[in-house]
Amino acid sequence: MSAHERPAEPRTHEDAIDRLRAWPRTHFAHLPTPLIRTERLGERLGVGNAYVKMDAETGFALGGNKVRKLEFELAPSRLEGITCLITAGGPQSNHCRVTAAAAARLGLDCVLVLNGPEPTAPTGNALLPRLFGATVVTVEDRSDRGPTMDREAERVSAGGGRALVVPIGASTGLGSLGYTLCALELLEQLDSCDDGCTETLLFVSSSSCGTLGGLVLGLALAGRTDVHLVGVSADASAEELTRTSLTLAAEGATLLGLDGSSEARRSIEAVPLTTDDTQVGIGYGVPTPAAEAATQDFARLEGIVLDPTYSSKAAAGMIQWMEKGGLRDGQRAVFLHTGGAPGLLAGALSRTSS
């Protein structure tokens, strides 16, 4: 572990922010991503101040939130001597798409372990990794992915190479630092908004919690309790989202030198956080009627494309929140768009060809 990954002694929050900004990473994303005011969507929601933070436009390999996390997971020190990247996901994994593209950019081999049958005609996120040159290994069940990644790493080693196994979703304490940095970026943008608002409701899709956990840590380091995070689940229970995101925030704090700091724990626990599992429906990757309606609203009102697995359910959660209670005076609503449009196109192509 490098000096950047484990500092010698605990630091202040300001020291941790400095360390985060200086952390060596492999730059893929086009930053900062824009924060756009969405007036027509705001009218639909019945609120005066609605915004979208467009992390769908991180740029690399069709963008999305995985790009920020991989910048830290694939930091230069972690790639020394590496010949192959190995990771896993579902048939339409955004993470696998971006990992395969990163391997291509870096001149590395890539093996993806995907659960589900081999598609006869890959589309969307199933097609793109193959276009990027990744080797795809299909397994029957999600539980088979971990052991298969280990076997693939052993195979690479036996052939004289060296593999880096990237955890699913890059949702680790290290990967979450991408969204700790994003939180600081977003705070600068919010502070520049001339809308008279002093509080923000920030809605974000969550599953493996690397994005949500990173945001929690970023707000904690900045000492900002005026931003209320709302994590909307794509699959897990609300309790699991809360537990995992706080765990990842604590792991990120440790990497930044705040291990053992009671101040860091208090700051993380002080971040206003709500987790919502009302939009899961029958399960992961299966859109609900509310999610499909949200997709149409964002497209027709703002020209913004959501995906069927993550962002559409988060948007449905935001719409439900506004319909039930709306905003108080002085509040704004921000939707963090995590990307994933290739999954929507794959679904559309499947329906067209069926």
Catalytic sites, residue numbers: 93
**Coil vs helix vs strand at 168:** helix
> Greatest CA separation found in the chain?
63
Question: For strand 273-276 and strand 227-233, is the pairing parallel, antiparallel, or unpaired?
Answer: parallel
Distance CA 301, CA 138 (A): 39
**Coil vs helix vs strand at 166:** coil
- Token pair belonging to 268: 């993380």
Question: For strand 227-233 and strand 199-206, is the pairing parallel, antiparallel, or unpaired?
Answer: parallel
Residue 99 neighbours by CB under 8 Å, 6+ apart: 66, 70, 85, 87, 110, 112, 129, 134, 166, 170
> In this structure, what are the phi and psi dihedrals at residue 292, rounded to the nearest 5 degrees?
-65, -40
Q: CB–CB of 108/82 below 8 Å?
A: yes
Q: CB–CB of 115/90 below 8 Å?
A: yes
Q: Which residue has the tokens 């940095």?
A: 181
**Coil vs helix vs strand at 43:** helix
Q: What is the DSSP string of 276-309?
A: E-TT-TTSTT---HHHHHHHHHHHHHH-----TT
Q: Which residue has the tokens 């993550």?
A: 310
User: Using DSSP, how many helices (H) and how many strands (E) does the chain show?
Assistant: 13, 10
